[in-house]
Amino acid sequence: MSKSPQANDTRNTANPTVKPEPARAETQPKKQGHFCIFHGLTLGNWVRLLASRPPLHWTRLPRLASITLFSVVNSLEQFLENLVFGGRIKRQTIEHPPIFIIGHWRSGTTLLHNLMSLDPQFTYPNLYQVIFPGSFLLTERIATKLTSWGVPKTRPVDNLPAGWNMTQEDEVALLAMTQMSPYLMLAHQRDSRKYSRFFDLTELTPKERRRWQDSFLYFLKKLTIRDNKPIVLKSPPHTYRIPILLEMFPDAKFIFIHRDPYAVYKSSIHLRKTLFAENGLGKQCLEGMEENMMDVYTKLFEAYENTKHLIPDGHLHEVRFGDLETDPLEQMRQIYEKLDLPGWANVEPAIEAEVPTLTAYKKNTYNMDEPLMRKIYARWRAVFDRFDYPSNLPESAEIET
């Protein structure tokens, strides 16, 4: 299989080399922002989370206290929202099949989500809506104005813009609403048994499955009430869930984005360190983190390869992050063409105007030595081969698997 020019272009990788490089600017996790992923829990869900016995630590007392306070307020606001909007939410239908952006974390899903959000024919969940899914219909307009000062201008994990109105993962809302999300790992950093079955949802009981589906529909109905347009959703865990998503939305469309595995590895490690520090309820635990992340990546790729055939023809398009970064206009045009999305002529100028900003964006850089490259290549060789990424190892160092 011949390699495309982009496959040999290492500008968009983690910049791995066989020889160790001098130390570079590997951005350390930042401590910023006043809201963590658990601030949207109701009191009942907060009590349920505590009942699962996550490790706690006295250094997190201010965070624990603020989550408790927020949970009381969230419960009251959700009660009031149900009084005002409850009937309308029940009657609401999802008129437009969603578009799901899937792929592993740090593969460019956020960039793609942001570009899709430039099209006014679509809507998307924003940061406020996923943090406070139980009350945003009632509170969003006022609360975002009063609290915008407390939201960082850039995301702590990278340098992308942040704010209440920016695109965000609906998985965060599912965590707050159901407690059935792999993002429970932020509370249970030492015990993957507490969250591992919430990736693909195949081990849920019938009651849990109904609750997850009902909660997801409830959230999407609320987004539709806010803006009745096709919803573009971005959550890496949905990559595991193609069967259940198609069961719920047979006409849904999917965009799978992938990136050089070396870059994904280093950026994902940085992501976990940052999120564990920013959202943890106890002392940060990094033991076994790298092995766990490599296993999650492998299972995500296998789940996608084993279930993508279920997606109807013309409803799935694959994108290479390096291509999207290098030529976003052409790659977005192909997405609209392959998925038969209308309105490209209307959104093309908005995306073209965004290109200078994308060019100016500076990613974090990382070092990578040959032993680590060998380990990654051995574990993820199927991904290197499937998407035609070069190993960048000397011929003598190629790993037979």
The first and second tokens of residue 268, run together, are 């994902």
pLDDT at 366: 59
* Rounded CA separation 41/204 (Å): 21
Please say whether the dihedral angle defined by the alpha carbons of residues 51, 54, 60 and 63, taken in this order, is positive or negative.
Answer: negative
Strand order through the sheet with 232-234: 232-234, 99-102, 253-258, 316-320
User: Cβ distance 6 to 323 under 8 Å?
Assistant: yes
Spatial distance between the Cα atoms of 369 and 251, rounded to a whole number of angstroms:
45
Residue 156's pLDDT is what? 58
Burial readout 280-308 (b: 16 or more C-beta within 10 A, e: otherwise): bbbebeeeebeeebbebbeebbebbeebe
Concatenated DSSP letters of 243-293: HHHHHH-TT-EEEEEE--HHHHHHHHHHHHHHHHHHH-SSS---TTHHHHH
pLDDT for residue 44 = 97
Q: What is the pLDDT along the chain (401 residues), one digit of tens a residue?
A: 333 333 333 333 334 433 333 333 334 444 434 578 999 999 999 999 999 999 999 999 999 999 999 999 999 999 999 999 999 999 999 999 999 999 999 999 999 999 999 999 999 999 999 999 999 999 999 999 888 776 766 665 555 667 888 899 999 999 999 999 999 999 999 899 999 999 999 999 999 999 999 999 999 999 999 999 999 999 999 999 999 999 999 999 999 999 999 999 999 998 888 888 889 999 887 888 899 999 999 999 999 999 999 999 999 999 999 999 999 999 999 999 999 999 999 999 999 998 887 665 556 555 778 889 999 999 999 999 999 999 988 654 444 33
Q: Residue-wise over 176-195: b if at least 16 C-beta within 10 A, else e? A: bbbbbbbbbbbbbbebbebb
Question: Which pLDDT belongs to residue 7?
Answer: 37
Contacts of 288 (CB under 8 A, 6+ apart): none
Cβ-contact 211, 219 below 8 angstroms: no
- pTM for the complete prediction? 0.87
- Structure confidence at residue 158 (pLDDT): 55
307: helix, coil or strand? helix
